[in-house]
């Protein structure tokens, strides 16, 4: 599958030099690009699907995780007209008496369409509350409720058979604070890696991940965090450790929710460089990001921009300024960060267009700018995206046929029940090693655990509420 570096050039004379086209087409200024007029650019995707092999990128180090016996299966993620609504309940209060409940339906996502291929780093941009995290959770198959639209993985809409190949890194790092980085990754490897690997191979794989993600310096340091009384490792190291936990299982599709939040620009660039290297090794990487710098934006291959749940752009990151110029949105000065300009437009703000005499019409102007961008997207970009998604991809058909033959083996547990119990017990004791243990405390914990297990053993789900009342 061709990464989008070669999509940026209209004529691709050489398939082995994507970096030249990328550097020339990645516009970090908002003025007119070289050799073209912003008013004459025709918005199109112009995606080249003639090549299948992923070219090498000499400027980005390729990370390989080759200790696992199975080969990497690339995943092409397609999502078409994805919509999601939530129902909010409001109670009207008159004095001390609660009135009737009124239900209000709010659309969080409205017709979002896009495609992410192996070898690409796709970023989702948008202001707070635009639906980035909701869309990412829906793509991972973890969103509760009814999601309308179509989400396919190599042409297969069933995400359950692909969950072993999907890695998801949440915004909040959920880790044990008193375990070291090496201990955390070792226990994850023992639980999640296949039983065909020996314990020594699993530990070796965890060591390899630590080295390749640059965690060697803090490998023996406790994680720490807000749940502990000590700081522990830094925020960038903690985020890389969360990425390492997912990289242990060698995922083909990696989804990350704002991995650079709360980090300085240098650490954020290091995180995105790691993600770009993972994408170049044949993975599909999709991440949400709040407000990237111009250096970070240049690392993205594709961007999906949301405004109040509506898409306003979906396509190549290097062509966004040309597209916005073609629909009449040009920044007032050169050398503007495309991400800043996109977020301003997603909020309905046009730089240098608001004056003192326009304050009363400010809200109306915001709505008109958003509506204009949504209409331009539906008119110019949406048909090309639909055509691209509807194409019969031979590669997707091959992966789908291979996936059906491997589904029986993918549904098997990597470790047995007794092995999971033994590892989790050892991890729990090691996490609480700083506490003092007594025979009375151990007896209390075991008694409560046995009683809880007996209450819910072979229980009917319809009587679960009655069993909860037993405790009271």
* 421 vs 37, more confident: 421
pLDDT recorded at residue 204 = 92
Distance (Å) of CA 228 to CA 170, 175, 179, 211, 255: 19, 11, 11, 26, 27
The 10s digit of each residue's pLDDT in 147-165 is: 999 999 988 887 777 778 8
Out of 68-82, 93-107, 359-373, the most confident range is: 68-82
Highest mean pLDDT among 158-162, 246-250, 299-303, 386-390: 299-303
How confident is the model over 175-184, as pLDDT tens digits?
888 899 999 9
CA-nearest of 181, 318, 279 to 238 is 181
Beta strands 97-116 and 77-94: pairing type? antiparallel
Cβ neighbour number for residue 340 with a 10 Å cutoff: 17
Q: What is the pLDDT of residue 71?
A: 43
Q: What is the pTM of this model?
A: 0.73
């Amino acid at each position: 599958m061709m990464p989008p570096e070669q999509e940026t050039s209209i004529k691709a004379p050489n398939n082995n030099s994507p970096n030249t086209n990328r550097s020339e087409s990645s516009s970090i200024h908002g003025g007119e690009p070289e050799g073209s007029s912003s008013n004459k650019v025709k918005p199109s995707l112009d995606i080249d699907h003639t090549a299948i092999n992923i070219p090498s990128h000499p400027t980005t180090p390729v990370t390989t995780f080759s200790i696992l016996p199975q080969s990497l299966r690339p995943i092409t993620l397609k999502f078409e007209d994805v919509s999601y609504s939530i129902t909010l309940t409001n109670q009207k209060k008159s004095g001390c008496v609660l009135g009737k409940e009124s239900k209000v339906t709010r659309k969080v996502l409205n017709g979002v369409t896009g495609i992410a291929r192996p070898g690409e780093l796709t970023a989702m941009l948008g202001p707070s509350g635009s639906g980035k995290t909701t869309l990412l959770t829906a793509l991972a198959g973890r969103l509760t409720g009814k999601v309308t639209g179509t989400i396919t993985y190599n042409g297969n809409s069933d995400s359950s058979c692909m969950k072993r190949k999907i890695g998801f890194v949440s915004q909040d790092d959920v880790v044990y604070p008193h375990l070291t980085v090496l201990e955390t990754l070792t226990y994850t490897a023992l639980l999640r890696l296949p039983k065909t690997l020996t314990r020594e191979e699993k530990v070796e794989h965890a060591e390899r991940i630590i080295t390749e993600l640059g965690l060697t310096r803090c490998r023996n340091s406790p994680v720490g965090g807000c749940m502990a009384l000590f700081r522990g490792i830094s925020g960038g190291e903690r985020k890389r450790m969360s990425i390492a936990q997912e990289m242990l299982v060698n995922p083909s599709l990696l989804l990350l929710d704002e991995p650079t939040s709360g980090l300085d620009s240098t650490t954020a660039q290091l995180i995105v460089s790691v993600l770009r290297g993972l994408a170049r090794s044949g993975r599909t990487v999709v991440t949400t990001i709040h407000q990237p710098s111009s250096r970070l934006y240049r690392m993205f291959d594709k961007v999906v921009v949301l405004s109040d749940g509506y898409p306003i752009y979906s396509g190549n990151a290097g062509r966004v300024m040309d597209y916005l110029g073609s629909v009449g949105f040009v920044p007032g000065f050169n050398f503007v960060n495309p991400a800043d300009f996109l977020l301003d437009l997603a909020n309905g703000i046009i730089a240098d267009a608001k004056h003192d005499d326009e304050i009363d019409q400010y809200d109306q102007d915001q709505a008109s700018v958003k509506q204009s961008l949504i209409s331009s997207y539906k008119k110019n970009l949406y048909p090309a995206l639909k055509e691209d998604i509807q194409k019969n991809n031979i590669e997707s058909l091959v992966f789908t046929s291979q996936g059906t033959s491997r589904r029986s083996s993918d549904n098997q547990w990597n470790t047995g029940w007794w092995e999971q119990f033994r590892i989790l017990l050892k991890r729990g004791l090691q996490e609480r090693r700083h506490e003092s243990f007594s025979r009375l405390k151990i007896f209390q914990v075991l008694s409560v655990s046995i009683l809880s297990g007996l209450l819910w053993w072979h229980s009917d789900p319809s009587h679960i509420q009655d069993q909860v009342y037993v405790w009271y």
